[in-house]
């Protein structure tokens, strides 16, 4: 299978325990404003599947999508709320880390967590904490660096090196994407298919 991921919206949930079971799942997580909604839309080649927000931190829901895969039952992709936005409602910022941590540790059939890091400014302290936590807990994860088009061509080699070092990874471990221009989108689609297939 190639081409856009066929993503069908299943439901939004405010708590992970409201999500239906899934036979195979990948999740996307990242700081608010990292470009997660834009990336979900780019993967599906749709404009409005995930809401691109002008007000960072407003979309605090967990969004679940069915994703086409080689398997006979339905695989899923979960878009987790963005972390680290201070202006979000108090209860949400207080609740989410525990809730998300519970999901990342206990979700059955979660095969890969894609951690989005802003290609221009990342990794931030919070991204580093998230990566440390995932590593410490042995949760399988892949770093996706966003907004590749925003990095000047003359700076790209250095930025790739810096971002990888900041994430304590080799450059080749990181998937660089641009939701706006399409760089890396096919590669990421293939990875998603691999992990839910």
Binding site for ligand GDP (CB under 6 A): 30, 32-38, 52-53, 56, 82, 146-147, 149-150, 178-180
The least distance separating ligand GDP from the CB of residue 44, rounded to whole angstroms, comes to: 13
The least distance separating ligand GDP from the CB of residue 31, rounded to whole angstroms, comes to: 7
The least distance separating ligand GDP from the CB of residue 137, rounded to whole angstroms, comes to: 23
Looking at the Cβ atoms of 24 and 192, the one nearer to ligand GDP is: 192
Residue 126 neighbours by CB distance under 10 Å? 15
Q: Are 50 and 37 in contact (CB under 8 A)?
A: yes
- The torsion defined by the Cα of 39, 112, 138 and 97, in degrees rounded to 10, comes to 50
Q: Are 63 and 79 in contact (CB under 8 A)?
A: yes
Looking at the Cβ atoms of 32 and 76, the one nearer to ligand GDP is: 32
Looking at the Cβ atoms of 53 and 74, the one nearer to ligand GDP is: 53
The least distance separating ligand GDP from the CB of residue 138, rounded to whole angstroms, comes to: 26
Residue 70 neighbours by CB distance under 10 Å? 10
Looking at the Cβ atoms of 22 and 38, the one nearer to ligand GDP is: 38
Distance between CA 152 and CA 193 in Å, rounded?
30
């Amino acid at each position: 299978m190639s081409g856009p991921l066929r993503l069908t919206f299943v439901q939004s949930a405010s708590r992970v325990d409201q999500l239906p079971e899934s036979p195979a799942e990948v999740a996307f997580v990242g700081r608010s404003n990292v470009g997660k909604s834009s990336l979900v839309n780019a993967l599906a080649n749709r404009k409005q599947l995930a809401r691109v927000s002008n007000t960072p931190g407003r979309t605090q829901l967990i969004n679940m999508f069915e994703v086409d895969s080689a398997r006979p039952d339905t695989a899923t992709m979960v878009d987790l709320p963005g972390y680290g936005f201070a202006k979000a409602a108090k209860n949400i910022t207080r609740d989410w880390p525990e809730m998300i941590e519970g999901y990342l540790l206990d979700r059955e059939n979660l095969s890969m967590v894609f951690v989005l890091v802003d290609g221009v400014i990342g990794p931030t302290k919070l991204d580093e904490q998230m990566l440390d936590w995932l590593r410490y807990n042995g949760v399988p994860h892949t770093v996706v660096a966003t907004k590749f088009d925003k990095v000047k061509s003359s700076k790209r080699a250095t930025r790739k090196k810096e971002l990888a070092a900041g994430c304590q990874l080799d450059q080749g471990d990181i998937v660089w994407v641009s939701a706006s221009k399409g760089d890396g989108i096919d590669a990421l689609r293939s990875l998603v298919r691999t992990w839910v297939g």
